[in-house]
Structure 1
Amino acid sequence: MVVYGNTQGISKKTVSGLEKIYRRKVQPTRIISQELARYLTEQSSEINRQLGVLITRAGTISHVIIGDSNSIFLPDLQHSYPLGKKYLRGLRFVHTHLKNEPLTNDDLTDLALLRFDYIAAIGVKDNLPDRFYAAHLTAQTGDKPYEINPAANFYNDTIDFLADVGAIEEEMGRQRPEAADTNGEKAIIISVSQGQKHEMEESLDELQELCAASGIAVVDRVIQRPKTINPRYLLGAGRLRELIIDALGKGASLLVFNENLSPSQTLAVAELTEIKVIDRTALILDIFARRAMSRDGKVQVELAQLKYRLPRLTGKGTAMSRLTGGIGGRGPGEMKLEIDRRRVRDRINILEKELIKLSKARVQRRARRSSSTLPIVSIVGYTNAGKSTLLNNLTESAAFVEDKMFATLDTSTRRLRFPQERDVIITDTVGFIKDLPRDLITAFKATLEELEDADTLLHLVDASNPRFDQHIESVENILKDLMIDDKPTLLVFNKTDKIPEDEIEGFITRYGAVGISAINPATFGPLIEALKERVFFRHPDNLHEEAEPVSGV
């Protein structure tokens, strides 16, 4: 058993006496026993420092802590007493106040951030307990998610601790039943930007859709438009603490930032809370990891994840978890952080080599397709635009379809029969998204090379999405990055069944596009004619051939 905090300048005898506190036990119905309180105030007066104890609900002492004359620094509790999905941590924190003063703002912040059952301060007067100050959390969220008990004489304290805590948790269960739901993650999504508010709202809408695709329930949305972006936390430290307290009160287990966080920002925010902290890129990578089915897809996603995580690996920097021996390995050894980083780099090298092998096999398949002289049409578009549904209904196939972002990642290739025994090869690629993570573009570059062989790109757009014009721009930017934006492209508006007919006609006229509903093959006529014009009628010998219905459409 160790005494936590600053023990410098404290005699061995005093430290030894404080270590013996661990042998004591407090009656579970009391916040603290009178005997233990008297001992703490006596020792606190003698060394002129605050002393504190953390007590479990069973009444055992889990931590003894030494502070300074005005404050006390709490140790890390997330490993020994993790909060998890519980309402309260299961610990009460009792400490001394040398000036007999009430609970401070720091005390109340610790109560809210660390989710203690109770926090109490024992005022010291003439080396003995005097005033008793206590506070506990409530089921309410907001600026003050706690209730401060009236100050009382320590010896007149009548709080029934277990009964109080039981009532608090029962009320929390009634007010926020979703907080106890263990099925999936609960998140607060956050956007911190100096952009226009409506743009931030639209971007958060998309982030919420991404959360849904990853099985995350969004319990709140936060928009911050600061005058200056905080380089450490994005938003101010005080506002961030408020946000974390609110998240804990609402049962959230995840903070999702819409902006991409630097490794240092991710670490800085994570140091303030036990709640997991991720950004938009990490969320997209998680979705890709869930949806990758083929060997190609799994390798590409793992490679992107490792490249994202490598600069975010952190360690204590001084503790060595193991030594590496042998020639060239003798001496102080490697720190665990360095070993972890080396292992990640080794794994990245292995995956990159495997990706090269898979790419060679893909090149061979593409060469065989090219030698067949069949025209190739590649479907591209924003995620969840309906590409797989269109492929299925055009070719009477059964590729996986789901109304979620990035439902399918693997490239699908089918043969489409046109009239007069003419065929084309049609491929469906991974969906695009605004600000697609650079590591993902790099990892999926081999897959996206399929687009280079396309004779025509079919750019599918979800016309029912109010942000479809931004989606068009995002897709065009990615095609430009891949240097294939000069290919013949047919713009097709999908989901026309979800918007008024006159509205879709306006879109078609304005963009020079074709309108369809991918779930209704009866609407494919204009699309087939447009494809035929681009694929088959580009040669003079074909200009006067008669059109016939497409087989299976």
Structure 2
Amino acid sequence: MIYGNIDGLKKSLLERLEDLRGLVMENNELLDENTAYELWEISTLINREVIIITDKRNEILEVGVGDFRSASFPEIDYEKIQGAKSFHTHPNENPNLSDQDKSAMLSLGLDLLGAVVVRDDKILVGIGVLDVEDDEIVVKVPGIFSLKDLRRFEIDVYSDKVSKFKRNAPKIVSDETEKAVLIGVSLKSKTEMLDIQSSMDELKELALTAEVVPVDMVVQNKDKIDSNFYIGKGKLLELKELIQIKNANIVICNDELNAVQLRIIETVLGVKVIDRTALILDIFAKHATTGEGKLQVELAQLKYRLPRLMGMGKVLSRAGGGIGTRGPGEKKLETDRRAIYKQVNILEKRIKDMQSARQIQKSRRVKNQIPVVSLVGYTNAGKSTMFNLISSSSVLAQDKLFATLDSTTRKIKMDDKEFLLSDTVGFIEKLPHDLVESFKSTLDEVKDADLILHIIDSSNPNCLQQIKIVEEVLQSIECSDKEMVYVFNKTDIVGEDFDQIYSMIRGDKLKTSAITGDGVEKLLKAIVKKIFGDTIEKVLEIPYSDSKYVSYLHSLGVVTDEKYLEDKIVVKVQISEKNEHLLNKGKV
């Protein structure tokens, strides 16, 4: 069996490659002359890299074929091979080791790796070896050797040193950290609100929130997104080399991919691929704590995965393989579409039942005339920190995207007045449609609000674009006509352009810092004025025949004084202008 890219190779060439397996180098050489010339001749004929794997006896164990600029290492257990070494050709006649070569050496644990070229009928081999420096295994490049010099090279000095270090080094627990290369497309006809760099930086923050380590970032400029290869076939092949150099095991795309794109990209790259939507769903799955939140995430995950069942190869093949597979919606979806449709229907019914229970709670609030104030804003704008400050609560607040997910409501008392303060999930660019649909019942807290506080991260240079994105989401849930106050948070760390940005926003606005507390007292007064209005006093004369009306006034909590005269009851009330109409509701 010849590993790698053997498409189109003649049978005679395949037989020549097969004949190399089992060959032991002459005179116990690391690489003998006959083998070097044979590798180079075959490589020249096919214009591809050819690779061999040898052991301590310098016997050729496996043979592989790559493309013009990279070799395909055979898929074998290198740890079981004593003195594992590799030689491969460089058709470009450059014997220097590439970063990809060095990365492969470290990841596979090869004692030696050589790049073979023939110039002017002379064999040259650029070699790299594993060595130990500062208590760490590193790649050392001794240089470019002729075969004569290579015979004198003492590989055992290095391999013995590395073996001794491995024997004496403390056992290291296997590193299961997911390392990601982030990729995105910059369209010449710009359709997104955030520029590509800001969008990719946001993708990086999302990855970190999902406990994935971003190791590199690739952006491709295109007229439109490639319907098959996303960033284009040529760029994908370059990305494959970068993945090996960076030792990455996952690729995260900045846009939502369809089933075809997922399947093709995973096939080309050979690693797990997820898109921005799957990443956000994974974060939501991790942070959902309430029963309803978990059901909403599971529903969104199922709706997302349903049309992609044929394309989610590496994601669906893992029962619990990290990002994209975990959380309350974590299921190994080998079931057919009908079973998934059935599960979707069950979840939708359960969420609808929970929504009905919320409507009962809402009707009680309306009956008791308790106004609702909702905090909304771009994710990581400081909503939860502001919520904790106002409500003296302990909702999780971290410098991460989507640190809190489930809606939280607290009763706030101020100047003998009460209102409900609600903290909701943060919004983000390209927020998955299925997620918005699933969370509509939770977002009803915003829909039912008497006042919306739009919390803005003043320190973010893209805050104007973030404001627009939040307003678009509010419009999608029919909340754009609600009374709103723009709360510019994090003013303790704003940039030079903040005053100009602040002046561009029309409407009620305030400057605050939830960390230092600056402006929060002013915000509380603004909330009370907005939802209760200016307070007015009235003296009402009520006949004894209408004594029920007095009881009604007491139920509103507006009575400040009450006198019983011979023919009437004189009641002094204090009420906000906005609620003055309630005085007429209880009259007979």
Normalization by structure 2: what TM-score?
0.65
Q: Distance in 2 between matches of 1:71 and 1:384?
A: 43
8 Å contact from structure 1 (residues 412, 428) kept in 2: yes
Counterpart of 2:360?
364
Against the structure 1 CA distance between its residues 20 and 281, is the aligned structure 2 distance closer, same or farther, given a 3 Å change threshold?
same
Residue 514 of structure 1 aligns to a residue whose secondary structure is strand
Against the structure 1 CA distance between its residues 9 and 498, is the aligned structure 2 distance closer, same or farther, given a 3 Å change threshold?
closer
2:530 aligned residue (521, 529, 534): 534
Q: Please state if 1:289 is matched with 2:285.
A: yes
Cα deviation for residue 477 of structure 1 reads 0.0
Against the structure 1 CA distance between its residues 460 and 65, is the aligned structure 2 distance closer, same or farther, given a 3 Å change threshold?
closer
Q: Distance in 2 between matches of 1:30 and 1:187?
A: 40
Q: Distance in 1 between matches of 2:65 and 2:498?
A: 70
Cα deviation for residue 482 of structure 1 reads 0.8
Counterpart of 1:192?
185
Unaligned runs of 5+ in 1: 84-89, 124-129, 140-144, 171-179, 322-335, 548-553
1:462 aligned residue (457, 461, 467): 457
Residue 256 of structure 2 aligns to a residue whose secondary structure is coil
The aligned runs of 1:204-223 (5 Å cut-off) are 204-223=200-219
Counterpart of 1:473?
468
Counterpart of 2:586?
none
1:507 aligned residue (502, 509, 513): 502
Residue 399 of structure 2 aligns to a residue whose secondary structure is coil
Against the structure 1 CA distance between its residues 371 and 103, is the aligned structure 2 distance closer, same or farther, given a 3 Å change threshold?
farther
Between Structure 1 and Structure 2, the one with more strand by share is 2
Q: Please state if 1:410 is matched with 2:403.
A: no
Counterpart of 1:333?
none
AA partner of residue 385 (structure 2):
T
Against the structure 1 CA distance between its residues 75 and 151, is the aligned structure 2 distance closer, same or farther, given a 3 Å change threshold?
closer
Against the structure 1 CA distance between its residues 298 and 479, is the aligned structure 2 distance closer, same or farther, given a 3 Å change threshold?
same
% identity of equivalent residues:
33
Normalization by structure 1: what TM-score?
0.69
Q: Distance in 2 between matches of 1:19 and 1:376?
A: 79
2:442 aligned residue (439, 442, 447): 447
Q: Distance in 2 between matches of 1:537 and 1:208?
A: 44
Counterpart of 2:493?
498
AA partner of residue 360 (structure 1):
S
Against the structure 1 CA distance between its residues 525 and 299, is the aligned structure 2 distance closer, same or farther, given a 3 Å change threshold?
same
8 Å contact from structure 1 (residues 30, 161) kept in 2: no
Q: Please state if 1:306 is matched with 2:299.
A: no
Against the structure 1 CA distance between its residues 458 and 65, is the aligned structure 2 distance closer, same or farther, given a 3 Å change threshold?
closer
- Alignment deviations for residues 488-539 of structure 1 (CA, whole Å, 9 cap, x no partner): 1122111222238995597268433122222344622321232122211289
Cα deviation for residue 290 of structure 1 reads 2.0
- Alignment deviations for residues 306-325 of structure 1 (CA, whole Å, 9 cap, x no partner): 332333334899xxx9xxxx
Q: Say what the alpha-carbon RMSD is for the aligned residues.
A: 5.4
8 Å contact from structure 1 (residues 113, 273) kept in 2: no
8 Å contact from structure 1 (residues 432, 475) kept in 2: yes
The aligned runs of 1:105-504 (5 Å cut-off) are 117=110, 118=113, 182=175, 184-195=177-188, 199-226=195-222, 229-314=225-310, 339=335, 344-420=340-416, 422-499=417-494, 503=498
Residue 393 of structure 2 aligns to a residue whose secondary structure is coil
Residue 242 of structure 2 aligns to a residue whose secondary structure is helix
- Alignment deviations for residues 416-443 of structure 1 (CA, whole Å, 9 cap, x no partner): 11213x2111111101111111121122
Cα deviation for residue 399 of structure 1 reads 1.3
- Alignment deviations for residues 428-460 of structure 1 (CA, whole Å, 9 cap, x no partner): 110111111112112212211222221111111
Q: Distance in 1 between matches of 2:306 and 2:454?
A: 35
8 Å contact from structure 2 (residues 62, 74) kept in 1: no
8 Å contact from structure 1 (residues 189, 208) kept in 2: yes
Cα deviation for residue 209 of structure 1 reads 2.2
Q: Distance in 1 between matches of 2:312 and 2:433?
A: 29
AA partner of residue 420 (structure 2):
I
Q: Distance in 2 between matches of 1:71 and 1:252?
A: 19
The aligned runs of 1:68-79 (5 Å cut-off) are 77=75
8 Å contact from structure 2 (residues 459, 495) kept in 1: no
Q: Distance in 2 between matches of 1:6 and 1:433?
A: 45
Q: Distance in 2 between matches of 1:501 and 1:193?
A: 28
Of structures 1 and 2, the one with the larger relative CO (CA 8 A, separation 6+) is: 1
Cα deviation for residue 251 of structure 1 reads 3.6
Against the structure 1 CA distance between its residues 255 and 523, is the aligned structure 2 distance closer, same or farther, given a 3 Å change threshold?
same
